[in-house]
Structure 1
Amino acid sequence: MKKLIGLFYKNLFLNNTLFACLSGSVVLFVLGFFFPWLGAIPQLVFWVIMVLVLLDLVLLYRTINGVFAKRVAPERLSNGDENELAIYIENFYPFNIAVGIIDEIPEQFQKRDVWFKTTMKPREHKQILYLLRPTRRGEYEFGFIRVFVKSPLGLVSRRYNFEQTEILPVYPSFLQMRKYELMAISNRLTDIGIKKIRRIGHSMEFEQVKNYVAGDDYRTINWKATARRGDLMVNSYTDEKSQHVYCVIDKSRAMKMPFEGLSLLDYAINASLVLSNVALLKEDKAGLITVAEKIGAVVPADSKYTQLNKILEVLYKEKTRYLETNMEALYTTVRRVIKQRSLVVFFTNYESMPALQRQLPFLKRIARFHLLLVVFFENTELKTLSEQPATDVEGIYIKTIAEKFAHDKKLMVKELATHGIQTIFSTPQNLTVNTINRYLEIKARQKI
């Protein structure tokens, strides 16, 4: 009995409407001292309020389980993307109710205002949709769903607590991966900024003989098939398959820098996942190597159906380290693991020319055996500072330093190019598109 009474008081909340009515009653009592003609009106108003409160309690508590609510969430969340979740709620009261819902989302989001309001008719059910954007990989713990119900009187609220604690893992951006996957399957990558590269010559992979359409190279006309069919027929070629594509991800402190909530490491991981998926769809073999002060994960290149899940599980666990990249260990691993000429995409970041100079001897050695593509990031904050007009001496100093760092980045691109090393110098938000662009360009020009 004591437990029931305790739960009654614990889940009972007085609304602002009740406080407003009681304030009005107090005002009437005060006015009664100055205007005797008010008589018993203040007491009458007070007792009417009390009766309405009792009636409101009866309406809310006579139904044991007046509402039902549950969270509808995916099995896992996608890092850096807007993930859709929902709260399903059903009304079992025989009258209209006003509902307020609190979903106890994980502490990583640092949100305390996840409050949804709605009204419901008798026996009605609704689904309330909302979006969450995680910025870190790992496990996210959701808590209770709290539902506050008000009757048409609206004087008090009854709280319902639905225990639905669950832990959802946040994986690298698989939503972005699926978007590019659908584009690649339907050959619509140009719709989202992926450039169509003019093919130089032909690959050695013959695909089919097809009808000539405007724009086809007349040098590919198959005259024997044309004579048989009576229509112009051309030979169709496809990109060479089973080429090895390795994503090498630098996990050192240089990749800890944040940008729009995500670290550079997370941008590199998301781009690597998408690139691996596109490579597998193009029937190439995708592999992965992670490195910091020592070698992390190594996933040999393969084209099996399970390869993408293997890469995804490895990337889910990767974290930034706080030491310099061990380039000697990376070179040794590349020579030991990668047995044939491959495309090696090295995701890293350089903020100064000396940082590049320390790694350059090992990059040159790797480039002797493989097609090396170094991906590093444009510092958008420095770019913004360099473009702002200077109004005082301090502003001139800041602008000059920002322009110097921006100029150093351009010098790094030229320095790598002089040694035959290809580069992608990209802002974090355009990294995925630029990386796939370059991969498709390399495929089209048969550089591997």
Structure 2
Amino acid sequence: MKKFFQQYYINLFLKDRFFAALGFCVVLFLLKFFFTWLGDIPEIATVVVFILLFVDIFILYRIPKGIDAQRFTSKRLSNGDENPIQIEIKNRYGFGVNVRVIDEVPYQFQLRDKDFRLSLKSAEVKSIHYNLRPTKRGEYEFGFIRAYIGSPLGFISRRYNFDGAKVLPVYPSFINLGQYELMAVSRHLTEMGIKRIRKIGNSSEFDQIKNYVGGDDIRTINWKATARKGGLMVNNYTDEKSQNIYCIIDKSRVMRMPFGGLSLLDYAINATVALTKVAMLKEDKAGLITISETIGSIVPADRKSAQLGNIMNVLYKEKTRYLESNLEALYSSVRAVVKQRGLLVFFTNFESLSALERQLPYLQRLSKYHLLLVVFFENTELKTLSHAPAKDIEGIYHKTIAEKFIYEKKLMVKALNKHGILSILTSPQNLTLNVINRYLALKAQQRI
């Protein structure tokens, strides 16, 4: 009895057309008081309405599973990117039906508009496509797929509940990694904003001896090989390989600032994943260190194929902390872990010149043993405010303060350069491209 109640009553909904027909019957009964010639027409109309109701129930419930629905997603979602979701609907009835599909997306999205309406002919299959953009890493749980089916009579709708419960992890952005991989080896780097850097001199890593062709540098002619071969032969050099590239991510409170739905920490994590991919493509070793008031995760530099997955699994769990980063502990860990000179890309943020000055001694000590690149962020809201015209005295005050903070950011860049520390001051949306640009430039200039 309980199963019958759940299958037929809970999932049965009367539609507007039935109530309209019932209302018409009520009107006929009222008119009968004034127009006796209506006779039994109201009763007959009421009986017809209920007969149609039961016919509609019969044709929708005579098949146990008249509709199939299934959700297709990737095994994991990419943070900050548009992730495609597909729902496939199949009609098993012998007639066309109207379908309303409601997909219960994870609560983190706070979306109530994933409501789709379509018509299906007999045995027809249709797909629904939409995108979801997560802005936080973690686990996202999908709920039921609910399909409301109406026959051509349109008196009732039958609800089908398809168990689409699925928990998907949201990882750092990985959808666009293929584009960065392509750009790293392509001659068309400027299509994605990645610039080609002219090399200065030759790399010191020997690759092969090859025949001389027009345009080769005559300074690379190998005279011994030329004498043996009887034709001009030149030495071919390649970029230095197996360099240590460590991304250091600050997890302190300064990285909690939101931009475009993502925190600065999320932008730094996405840029780290992209830089790791490009560095491994260049046959360098990529590693990771996270820091807050204490040392967080450490992934020693390596270039094995599983390294990117290891770094993503670590970054998947990272969250911001509320205390200031301990750069003294970072210096000790770097000295203990990174034995050879390499490139340290430090993702952090400084909101004032005094904040930088507190950390500057530790940054100088790091730059003494490694090539240090400090990456911090522009405050885009302040930049917008400084460019907007002031309408009153209060507006002038706000604009002046905004320009002061923007000027301090420029002073930070100068202060770092003064002490021989490389820096990038960038907006969050341009972070990944700017970091990859600088890495490729340093590789081309043989500074790593």
Q: Quickly name the TM-score band, shorter chain normalised.
A: over 0.9
Paired residues of 2:250 and 2:347 also in contact (CA < 8 A): yes
Shift of residue 187, structure 1, vs aligned partner:
5.5
Counterparts of 1:257-336 in structure 2 under 5 Å?
A: 257-336=257-336
* Secondary structure at the counterpart of residue 200 of structure 1: coil
| TM superposition shift of 1:190 | 3.3
Cα RMSD of the aligned pairs, angstroms, is 2.3
TM-aligned CA distance change 1:229 to 1:16, over 3 Å: farther
- Give CA deviations for 1:214-261 in whole Å, capped at 9, x if unaligned: 866565567888999999876543211011100000000000011111
Alignment of 1:1-150 (within 5 A): 1-34=1-34, 38-150=38-150
Range with bigger deviation, 84-93 or 173-182: 173-182
> Gaps (5+ residues) in structure 1?
none
Separation of aligned partners in 1, 2:325 and 2:63: 64
Q: Which residue of 2 aligns with 1:352?
A: 352
Deviates more, 1:438-447 or 1:405-414: 405-414
Q: Which amino acid in structure 1 is aligned with residue 107 of structure 2?
A: E
Compare 3-12 and 326-335 and name the one that shifted more. 3-12
Question: What TM-score, normalized to structure 1?
Answer: 0.94
In the alignment, the residues of structure 2 paired with residue 225 and residue 204 of structure 1 have an alpha-carbon distance, to the nearest angstrom, of 19
The CA distance in 2 between the partners of 1:66 and 1:362, in whole Å, is 68
Q: Which amino acid aligns with 1:438?
A: R
1:178-200 Cα distance to aligned partner (Å, 9 max, x none): 33123335555332111000111
Structure 1 residues 342 and 120 mapped into 2: Cα distance closer, same or farther (>3 Å)? same
Counterpart of 1:11 in structure 2: which amino acid?
A: N
* SS of equivalent residue, structure 1 residue 136: coil
Q: What is the Cα deviation at residue 276 of structure 1?
A: 0.9
Question: What's the counterpart of residue 413 of structure 2?
Answer: 413
Q: Secondary structure at the match of 1:112?
A: coil
Task: Return the alpha-carbon distance in structure 2 between the equivalents of residues 369 and 193 of structure 1.
Answer: 31
CA distance in 2, matches of 1:107, 1:214: 63
Q: Any conservation in 2 of the 1:101–1:115 contact (CA below 8 Å)?
A: yes
Any stretches of 5+ residues in structure 2 without a counterpart?
A: none
Q: Does 1:393 align with 2:405?
A: no
For residues 410-440 of structure 1, the C-alpha deviation after alignment (integer angstroms, 9 at most, x for no partner) is 1111111111111111111110000000000
Q: Residues 177, 34 of structure 1: CA spacing in aligned structure 2 closer, same or farther, 3 A cutoff?
A: same
- Distance of 1:204 and 1:290 partners within structure 2: 33
TM-score (ref. length: structure 2): 0.94
Alpha-carbon distance change, 397 to 64 in structure 1, aligned in 2, over 3 angstroms? same
2:416 and 2:22 mapped to 1: Cα distance? 77
- Of stretches 433-442 and 388-397 in structure 1, the one that deviates more from structure 2 is 388-397
Range 207-216 or range 254-263, more displaced: 207-216
CA distance 1:17–1:286, shift in 2 (3 Å) = same
* Total equivalences in the alignment: 448
Give 1:47 deviation, angstroms: 3.1
Deviation, 1:212, is: 7.0
- Equivalents in 1 of 2:431, 2:211: separation in Å? 38
Q: Distance in 2 between matches of 1:69 and 1:119?
A: 14
**Equivalent AA in structure 2 for residue 4 of structure 1:** F
Q: How far did residue 78 of structure 1 move?
A: 0.9
* Amino acid aligned to 1:146: R
- Matched residue, 1:152: 152
Within 1, Cα distance between the matches of 2:392 and 2:326?
43
Distance 1:24 1:213, change over 3 A: farther
